[in-house]
A and B are shown apart, each in its own frame.
Chain A
Amino acid sequence: MNKLLISISTGLALATSLLQPAVAQPKTEITLARFFGACEADYGKSTDVKAARGECGVITTLINQFNATNKDGIVVKPQIVEWGPYYDQLTARMVARDVPTIAVMHQTSLSDYVSRKLVEPLDDGFKSVGINTSEFTDHAKSGTAIAGKTYGLPFDTFSWLWHINGNLLKQAGLTKADGTLMIPSSPQEVLEHARKFKQATGKPYFAWSVSGTVPTNSWTFLSMMLQQNTELFSSGAKPKLNLRTQDATKVMDLMSQLYAEGHVMPGLDSGGVNQAWFKGEAAVALTGTWRIDDFLAQSEKAESPAHNGYTVIPFPKLFTKRVVYADGHSWVMLKGGAKDEKTRKAALTFMKFLWDNNYEWARTGHLPANRTVIESAAFKALPMRSNIAVISTIGRNLPHTVPRQHAVQLTLSEELITMQLSKKPVVQVQEAVETRVNKLLDSVR
């Protein structure tokens, strides 16, 4: 009996050892700090990237797919933070020496971290995993390259668009002889079109946000400023903002006049902008690339005032140059994030995966950072993308020499909102912005 038991036990042990993998592969864990929200209920376990929608859906499924399919034993652990205070937490984490392996970062913020030597240059790393920086679009390259080194993997370009309800413009007679929509090509034309539109429909031409939480007014302003031959900031180690120029006055006068004459729907925040456009209360909504799919979905409804009449264009050329303000997301490796070479390599491998899937991210509405993707038939077949693909070439950030760009834009946006809401004179606004921004820039060490 004992011999039988021993035989059975030995047999079971042998069978168990044969069934188990020879040696369990140790996993390499990398942490990824990001915003874009969490959507575990919809996409928590999904690896079907093609079926995913929206920023949250696409990034969640991309990470899930990588974790499920990579053969290097790499596990990506996302650490999700709300968008608004993301950089507060990221900076606090660096102080606490709890640095994530990879972090998402706006290109407007990149120079602040690079100047403090907190971000690793990635040129060599990209070469080692086969990411070719010559495939970056013009905007992507300018957004992530500082002093000849690449500090981030560009993920997209996003910009400020005119979402147009063509039905309303037609109703107002703002169409050419061939039926195409009339788009203004100068500040004077903007006013003329807006006045004609208001006369014909009784509605304001524009819907744009005058709420200060996101610096969207500064994007309108910067798009128009960048179109002129003017330098907003002085060069040198301590740049200064110079807003008391004729060019800035022209732009501010235009924004102020549009609002004062009732060509901008009053008192809207970003949600209000969407609602106004969806209800047909304004012809042109100034909002970003990320809204394309939602606007399209609404305009496809038979009862929508924009039914079969939706189109979207980059901010039109109203001055000298065909340029628009644009920013982008990128993925960076912060110093101290990768604890060893193995983790570093794992992070780069994941970055390569993201780069190879840049088309999927472009379905969110953001423009791809990969030149091959933007020139591909698949991308061009996405709705409205052929209208805005040019932004990857004409999109401009502020120079990397300007620090604290997000704070600068918030300040500028606040004062522009005050100018519109309380009819503050343009001269006073210029002075206030210069004083506040230059004080901020002076405080940067």
Chain B
Amino acid sequence: MGMKGKDWRNLCIGVAFITPNILGFLAFSAIPLVISFFMAFTDWNLALHNIFRNEPLKFVGFDNFVRLFGERDFLQYLGNTLFLMIGIPFGVAGSLGAALLLNCDFKAGGSRRVWLIVLLTVIMVVAVSILTLFGMGASAMSILIASVFGLVLVAGGIGGQSVYRTLFYFPCFTAGVATFILWKKLYSPENGPINHAIQPVLDVITPWASSLTPGHAALAAQVVLALTLVVTLWGFYRKLRDWRDGEVGTLSLFIGLVLLTLPLLLVWSWSPWRWSHWVFTAVAVLGWLTTFGVLIKGRSYEAVLDRGMADAVILDGLLMVIGFAFIGGANVLADLPAMAGTETGLMAPKWLADYYWAKPALLIMGFWAAIGSNNMLLYLAGLSGIPQELYEAADIDGATPFQRFWNITWPQLANVTFFILVMSIIGGLQGGFEMARTMTDNGGPAGATTTLSYYIYSEGFDTGRLGYASAVSWTLFAMVFVVTMFNWKFGNRYTQE
């Protein structure tokens, strides 16, 4: 049946109302997007192609894309971007922890819980006073922060969940630049509260560390390095066991094992001990040979190819990051006597002013921001959707709190976790621009904190190579697209597992 006159009129009115929005979308999003896609395959250069320069535009095919993988800036800034994303698993864990805490009913425990919080506050105040007496609180900022913590505890004790939920969400609705400036002050090498807290601890450690012989330090460092092997081997064992039991599919097995293998290979450039290069490589080869052996032997229970994909991304990804942390820790430990033996002893990091510490500094800040973010809200929403019957059944079976978490909460939140992880990866790939502008003097020191998003801006508007900058943008888009497809393909399925 055709539309009547009134229907047509309503349609026209409706279209008229959404027209401004559509026009805006076309003018500022859709059309520029199409043009930028076109530009990525051309030699569009502001010096040749602008309103006054009409040189013929050359179609260069995939030249821009090929060139970017040979440009050291692109590779360095891609590396920086990926490095800053190492904090994502910790951010996800932190926001889950925050959501679990905020999901507790603070009033349920009655006055006992309130008194506990008041007691904690008193302990904190006493601890701060003692530290101040012993010189740690040289800056008023340290005392102020500790006092604010105390106040928060008291307010939480009285106001309950809603106070904490509001406070934890603060990082999300505070303007980015304000937060960055605040963190810049926190990271101030000599006057910042972070170093005021760290330096006294280092002063205590210094005599002990300087008394260590280089031999002992190297031995301890290599023990820490060996822990990477333990973690990786356990990861391989867990993965193969789950594959055999039909808990994970073959594709997820491979992805998980690739992630677990990365730290073993990176010791070649990150570890100064030659034995580790060969031993770690041998373990990697052995691990993969075993894997192929197990695959050939077959398994007891079949599973679809991509079952357990989130397990591969989340847990194996976490093990990979832990592996990296052990390698980094081993390096620090090996250098400890030399660092402690200097005239100044062990010094707190110079954070943003230091080539090696600038990236970790941003990573820590990102971790803080991730805890009290929309991720936490998503987890809170997810927690409220878990059927209480499952917990009741677990209680009847005598489950411990950890068992309740591991067997009920964690699997039930799997879809939320997967979504958060994917969105965090997308955010991580696109991030870093504001931080580079505000905190680190345009991505310094010496490009240590320049990310891809800043590189695109710089290539487009500083050098005028718009074609090339578009190619970088679309490469970034491709990365984001792959991650999104991954979510689309596996996100829902993981919920069912």
Do A and B truly interact?
no
Chain A interface residues toward B at CB < 8 A: none
Chain B interface residues toward A at CB < 8 A: none
